[in-house]
């Protein structure tokens, strides 16, 4: 494997990051990265535990036999969100292929795909610390979890009774200079509508929305970015008001934790309506692009004539119910925090839609700093889908990390930041979900702080990791550990 990061310092951090990037690690497929960490622990004669879910705990004792310093838990997740550009190598398989890293100025990125610095840089930090015997640090419990991007499943399933530490440093944030103090809880639900099919002939068309910015459905939900799934639903509703058509296929989005960037519908129309359809798409493409001016500069909406076609399409009633759902489901910010200016309190993202032989599915991710609001929003979605003859399934639910006014670990991290940066860090709540919420509930008396380096456009192929920021934050992490 050609090494592209070998001359970047700190060398251990970026060497491990490059190793990690070569290992396929989508959510649900963390066997290989888990095995890599196990082999690392064996090679360094470190005690380790791997559970049935492939979570790995690696323990490194202090060099001092009579060390009175408390044990510190370092925590990050192994899996990554796997998205690629629509024009990238169609053969790239995230379950088999590693990432193709590249460097431009101060940034590392992956060619055509997400970079997985969320949370690969945390794994690199942790391995580097475990690998450095020159450091005088307290005992470390390095916890590498699986499937954070799929409902925090690894953290939820991990047996925390085998941990002895009560100080937990989570390394899953993407803005240098911020110390997180709390985060939202989340819930993923699946809404399904039964569908029936009929044989249809006419002129086939693809209606496509692509080029949207997308992004993390927690961190970027306040940016006003377009949701390709719901915009497609809006366009199809506009078409419905002007002409008849049948739907062969509709789908969009790859993960519920990312704002969908692309969506497509395959429809069949009467030959006499060709001009009408193309005029509608042209008109509303301009309208929607104007609505998102300054936000979605690369958005494209177009109709592609496929010629004469005969196919199985969903019937009129199925189409009506899908259209109703896509045009009535809430979207984006539901409520802002009253106490913290600029902090989203509750939100919703319709991340995935797909059509099968028997049903239409809409996968929704909702987040809230308040459990009551999250549950109330879920009840609203359940009522909506069941009213139109569908079904509601809750796939996961993870808790919020609640703010603690007194935190010794936060004070240590605050003071270390002041010494290193000669300014105060920003203390903030976080609308995205973190595994901190799970551990806050599962470990009695745990003291938590979360931070990380600058990573932009996570959960999209435009993801970038700042090299200089990653280097500074590693030194900051070491400074905190030395200060405990």
Question: Which residues are catalytically annotated?
Answer: 79, 148
The span from the CA of 245 to the CA of 247, in Å, is: 7
Torsion on CA atoms 466, 471, 476, 481, rounded to nearest 10? 130
**CA pseudo-torsion sign 29, 452, 228, 90:** negative
Size of the chain, expressed as the number of residues it contains: 484
Q: Alpha carbon of 262 to those of 85, 246, 310, 315, 434: distances in Å?
A: 10, 21, 25, 24, 26
Cβ neighbours of residue 178 closer than 8 Å, sequence gap 6 or more = 425, 426, 427, 428, 451
CA distance linking residue 433 with residue 152, whole number of Å: 9
Residue of 211, 204, 217 whose CA lies nearest to 231: 211
Is 464 in contact with 115 (CB distance < 8 Å)? yes
- Residues 378, 358: Cα–Cα separation, whole Å: 24
What is the phi/psi pair of residue 302, to 5°?
A: -150, 160
Comparing CA positions, the residue from 161, 159, 166, 143 lying closest to residue 71 is 166
Which tokens in the block code for residue 332? Answer: 């984006």
Contact call for residues 334 and 377 (beta carbons, < 8 A) = yes
Strand, coil or helix: what is 159? coil
Tokens of 136: 């005088």
Element (H, E) at 374: helix 371-387
DSSP track, 83-142: -B-TTS-TT--TTT----EEEETTEEEETTB---HHHHHHHHHHHHHHH-TT-----EEE
3-state secondary structure of 427: strand
Helix or strand holding residue 391 (H, E): strand 391-398
Residue 114 near residue 105, CB atoms below 8 Å: no
Q: Give me the phi and psi of 210, to 5 degrees please.
A: -150, 175
Enter the tokens of residue 39. Answer: 């082999």
Whole-angstrom distance, CA of residue 222 vs CA of residue 218:
8
**Rounded Cα distance, 368 and 187, in Å:** 9
């Amino acid at each position: 494997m050609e090494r592209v990061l070998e001359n970047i310092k700190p060398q251990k951090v970026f060497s491990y990051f490059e190793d990690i990037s070569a290992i396929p690690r989508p959510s649900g497929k963390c066997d290989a990265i888990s095995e890599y960490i196990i082999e690392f622990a064996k090679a360094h004669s470190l005690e380790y535990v791997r559970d049935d879910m492939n979570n790995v705990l690696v323990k490194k004792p202090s060099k001092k036999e009579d060390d009175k310093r408390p044990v510190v838990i370092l925590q990050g997740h192994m899996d990554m969100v796997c998205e690629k550009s629509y024009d990238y190598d169609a053969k790239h398989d995230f379950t088999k292929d590693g990432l193709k890293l590249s460097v431009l100025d101060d940034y590392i990125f992956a060619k055509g795909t997400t970079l997985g610095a969320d949370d690969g840089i945390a794994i690199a930090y942790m391995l580097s610390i475990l690998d450095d015997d020159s450091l005088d640090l307290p005992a470390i419990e390095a916890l590498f979890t699986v499937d954070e991007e799929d409902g925090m499943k690894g953290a939820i399933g991990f047996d925390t009774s085998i941990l002895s530490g009560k100080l937990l440093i989570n390394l899953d944030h993407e803005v240098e200079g911020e110390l997180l103090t709390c985060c939202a809880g989340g819930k993923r639900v699946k809404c399904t509508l039964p569908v029936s099919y009929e044989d249809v002939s006419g002129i086939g068309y693809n209606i496509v929305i692509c080029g949207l910015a997308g992004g993390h459905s927690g961190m970027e939900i306040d940016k006003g970015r377009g949701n390709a799934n719901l915009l497609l639903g809006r366009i199809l509703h506009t078409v419905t008001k002007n002409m008849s058509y049948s739907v062969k296929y509709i789908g969009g989005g790859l993960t519920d934790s990312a704002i969908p960037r692309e969506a497509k519908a395959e429809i069949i129309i009467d030959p006499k309506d060709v001009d009408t359809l193309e005029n509608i798409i042209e008109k509303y493409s301009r309208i929607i692009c104007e609505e998102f001016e300054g936000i979605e500069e690369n958005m494209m909406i177009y109709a592609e004539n496929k010629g004469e076609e005969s196919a199985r399409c969903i019937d009129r009633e199925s189409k009506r119910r899908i259209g109703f759902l896509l045009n009535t489901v809430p979207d984006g910010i539901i409520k802002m925090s009253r106490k913290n200016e600029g902090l989203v309190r509750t939100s919703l993202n319709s991340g995935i839609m797909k059509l099968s032989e028997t049903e239409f599915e809409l996968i929704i991710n909702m987040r809230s700093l308040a459990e009551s609001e999250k549950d109330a929003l879920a009840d609203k979605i359940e009522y909506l889908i069941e009213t139109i003859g569908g079904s509601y399934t809750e796939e996961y639910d993870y808790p919020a990390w609640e703010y603690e006014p007194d935190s010794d670990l936060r004070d240590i991290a605050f003071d270390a930041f002041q010494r290193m940066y000669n300014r105060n860090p920003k203390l903030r709540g976080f609308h995205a979900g973190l595994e901190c919420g799970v551990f806050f509930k599962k470990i009695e008396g745990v003291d938590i702080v979360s931070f990380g380096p600058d990573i932009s456009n996570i959960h999209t192929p435009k993801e970038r990791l700042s090299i200089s920021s990653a280097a500074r934050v590693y030194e900051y992490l070491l400074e905190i550990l030395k200060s405990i």
